[in-house]
Copies of this chain bind each other. A is one copy, B any other.
Amino acid sequence: MQVKRYEDVEMEEVGEDGAKNVYIQWLIDEKIGKNFAMRRFVLKKDGHTPLHRHDWEHEVFVLEGKGAIVNDAGEEFSLTPGTFAYVPPNEIHQFVNRGDDDFVFLCMIPFQ
């Protein structure tokens, strides 16, 4: 087994088009895991991921801060610590920080 602290994992800025102030840590990646990855996202103030879709799902659990997930109709669903979300494959979505502090969540995805 492997046991580690999230602080000990390198944090990288997400450079994807449409991403702003988004940082990612791959806590469990393909080198460790077997079927799915565990990533920790930090959206700094005014941060957001791209409004996009892809053919894999997200399983999300919110750890810190105040944010939202936006759908293709522009509707927002509030995300605070203890909220979890399932985004099916191919569904348009965007994560947005709606607070002054870091908005932090886990996001699991299957390996492709």
Contact = CB atoms under 8 A, between A and B. Distances in A.
A89 B34 contact: yes
Interface residues of A, number: 37
Interface string A78-102: 1100111111110101000000000
B38 A71 contact: no
A36 B7 contact: no
- What copy number does this chain have within its complex? 2
A41 B83 CA distance: 15
Contacts of A89: 34
Given A36-B35, A59-B28, A1 B108 contact: no
A27 interface: yes
B110 A28 contact: no
Contacts of A63: 63
B1 A110 contact: no
Chain A to chain B: the 5 pairs with minimum beta-carbon distance, closest first: A3-B77, A35-B110, A2-B86, A3-B85, A1-B87
